[in-house]
Chains A and B, each alone.
Chain A
Amino acid sequence: MNGSGYEAPRTVEETVTLLQQANGAARVLAGGTDLLAQMKMGMTSPALLIDVKKIPELASIEQTADGGFRIGAAVCGAALAEHAALVAAWPGIVEAARLIGSEQIQGRASLGGNLCNGSPAADSVPALIAAGATCTIAGPGGTRSVAVEDVITAPGKTCLATGELVVDFRLPPRPDGSDARAAKAGDAYLRMIPRSEMDIAIVGAGVSLTLDEAGVCTAARVGLGAVAATPLRVDAAAAALIGTTLDDAALAAAGEAASAAARPIDDKRGTIAYRKQVAGVLTRRAAKIALARAGGNG
């Protein structure tokens, strides 16, 4: 790899200036597990790599004043798993991020890189969509907040303009379960791969639920990966769960809605019919796990 430049700025502002000056010839470097691999395979050869791991906002996890979380875009998967409060509140997001690659990849791979690489099969993205996560995007015009499901626009393409980078992900507050009579919440992510480890998802499904004190689902979101050109938010599957106790009929309806929403392609790893069916099965199973985590009668 013969590119000429490497910078490791300490602030978001410097990063935006560097990206703007390079005018498309620079790339953000987080863990490099997509970018450096693509450079080695000759798929891209950016002149300038801007390492964002030394910027405090991108490298840290915080609980916010409202009880939500702010996860720096460049935090690696292994560090997510070490944050006990995050694991307790959002086990589905952490399990999705932890499915990315091997332990070696986990030492580097970030949520920001997983999203901005733009793969339809990116494992953390359906879980972030289910969570209702937004990302903070900084650029020459200041910062904007964008729902995760609106970032990937086509395979390998995002809504980021030249000069923009993802700073962090914001997760909404969760009922904390400390009061047995109050609302509870849970999330889960499952993926189907042909092997038991180290493979690309044929289908990924993330589900996040909130239950009221009686165990009735008051809010739900469903995200699907690898079944369309971009990861999907499936409102019809969520609607099938809301207002129910996630009885078998509700789970079946959510699964059917997920299968119907899936618009997969046929490829060597799975046929259209198989992927549509698995989208339904994984949505049902992930919903049951989320229910159990929320303390419902799963």
Chain B
Amino acid sequence: MARRHVSTRVNGEPVEFLCEPHQTLLDVLRDELQLTGTKEGCGTGDCGACSVMLDGRLICSCLALAAEVEGAEVRTVEGIASGNELHPLQRHFLEEAALQCGICTPGFLVAAKALLDGNPDPTEREVRFALAGNLCRCTGYDKIIRAVLDSAAELRGEA
């Protein structure tokens, strides 16, 4: 079957890959580009574990084709830290135990960063609605919501 050649940017770096026409972006990130931070939970848009940014918009990479990202800008959880320095969201998730098994964490981080980039001072209710597309079977959510609110405060220079 004819594989497609795709040129794109991932976390700011130019990247080229070959993919099957109907292969998902999630599968290419994980299996071809070895960017395994992005997780697969449900594969049908319900859990958010596969969250990435595509041209500045938060999407589920399990419901996007790799072929669609030709010429686009993809950002994954691997691009959130600056070198060895964790992003405040990552640090607060660790310090406040906002994860247990961790499979949902990359998706929460990407979605929470998308929220805070657009709304630096969200209410708790806004955080809960913004993260409603991310499911966690372990934490009970409260610690995640608190970590996001504390990160927002730190990013605003209030903590």
* A residues with CB within 8 A of B: 1-6, 8, 29, 31-33, 36-37, 39-41, 49, 51, 53, 76, 78, 101-108, 197-198
Q: How many A-B residue pairs have CB under 8 A?
A: 92
B48 pairs with A49, CB closer than 8 A: no
Chain B residues with CB below 8 A from A8, complex form: 67-68, 70
Determine the residue in chain B with the shortest Cβ distance to A51: B68
Chain B residues with CB below 8 A from A108, complex form: 57, 59-60, 63-64
| Of the residues A2, A29, A104, A198, contact of B65 by C-beta under 8 Å | A29
Sample (12) of A-B pairs whose CB atoms are under 8 Å apart: A1-B23, A31-B63, A37-B45, A51-B65, A51-B68, A53-B68, A78-B57, A104-B45, A105-B45, A105-B133, A106-B58, A108-B64
Q: A32-B65, A49-B65, A76-B57 are in contact. Are A1 and B24 (CB under 8 A)?
A: yes
A1 pairs with B45, CB closer than 8 A: no
Chain B residues with CB below 8 A from A78, complex form: 57
B130 pairs with A6, CB closer than 8 A: no
Interface residues of B in 31-57 (CB under 8 A from A): 43-46, 48, 51, 54, 57
Task: Please indicate which of the listed interface residues A4, A36, A78, A104 has the most CB atoms of chain B within 10 Å of its own CB.
Answer: A104
Determine the residue in chain B with the shortest Cβ distance to A1: B22
CA distance A104 to B4 in the complex (A): 26
Taking the closest CB of chain A, its distance from the CB of B22, in whole angstroms, is 4
Q: Is B20 an interface residue (CB 8 A)?
A: yes
Known: A1-B23, A36-B24. 13 other contacts (CB 8 A): A1-B24, A6-B65, A6-B68, A8-B68, A36-B65, A39-B22, A51-B67, A104-B45, A105-B133, A108-B57, A108-B59, A197-B132, A198-B46
B20 pairs with A103, CB closer than 8 A: no
A104 pairs with B58, CB closer than 8 A: yes
B44 pairs with A41, CB closer than 8 A: yes
A197 pairs with B65, CB closer than 8 A: no
Interface residues of B in 105-159 (CB under 8 A from A): 111, 114-115, 129-134
Determine the residue in chain A with the shortest Cβ distance to B1: A4
Q: Is B2 an interface residue (CB 8 A)?
A: yes
Q: Is B79 an interface residue (CB 8 A)?
A: no
CA distance A101 to B45 in the complex (A): 9
Task: Please indicate which of the listed interface residues A2, A36, A41, A106 has the most CB atoms of chain B within 10 Å of its own CB.
Answer: A36
Determine the residue in chain A with the shortest Cβ distance to B54: A107
CA distance A2 to B134 in the complex (A): 28
CA distance A198 to B54 in the complex (A): 22
Chain B residues with CB below 8 A from A2, complex form: 1, 20, 22
Taking the closest CB of chain A, its distance from the CB of B44, in whole angstroms, is 5
| Chain B interface residue bracket vs A | 35 or more
Closest 8 CB pairs of A and B: A102-B133, A107-B57, A1-B22, A197-B132, A6-B21, A107-B59, A3-B22, A6-B67
Chain A residues with CB below 8 A from B67, complex form: 6, 8, 51
A33 pairs with B68, CB closer than 8 A: no
Task: Please indicate which of the listed interface residues B60, B63, B68, B133 has the most CB atoms of chain A within 10 Å of its own CB.
Answer: B63
| Of the residues B4, B57, B63, contact of A36 by C-beta under 8 Å | B63
Determine the residue in chain A with the shortest Cβ distance to B115: A103
CA distance A66 to B29 in the complex (A): 46
Taking the closest CB of chain B, its distance from the CB of A262, in whole angstroms, is 28
Chain B residues with CB below 8 A from A6, complex form: 4, 21-22, 65, 67-68
Chain A residues with CB below 8 A from B62, complex form: 36, 40
Taking the closest CB of chain A, its distance from the CB of B118, in whole angstroms, is 10
CA distance A39 to B63 in the complex (A): 10
Task: Please indicate which of the listed interface residues B64, B70, B111 has the most CB atoms of chain A within 10 Å of its own CB.
Answer: B64
A104 pairs with B60, CB closer than 8 A: yes
Q: A36-B64, A37-B63, A197-B132 are in contact. Are A104 and B48 (CB under 8 A)?
A: yes
Chain A residues with CB below 8 A from B22, complex form: 1-4, 6, 39, 49
Chain A residues with CB below 8 A from B51, complex form: 104
Taking the closest CB of chain A, its distance from the CB of B153, in whole angstroms, is 21
CA distance A33 to B133 in the complex (A): 13
Taking the closest CB of chain A, its distance from the CB of B51, in whole angstroms, is 6
CA distance A29 to B63 in the complex (A): 11
Taking the closest CB of chain B, its distance from the CB of A12, in whole angstroms, is 19
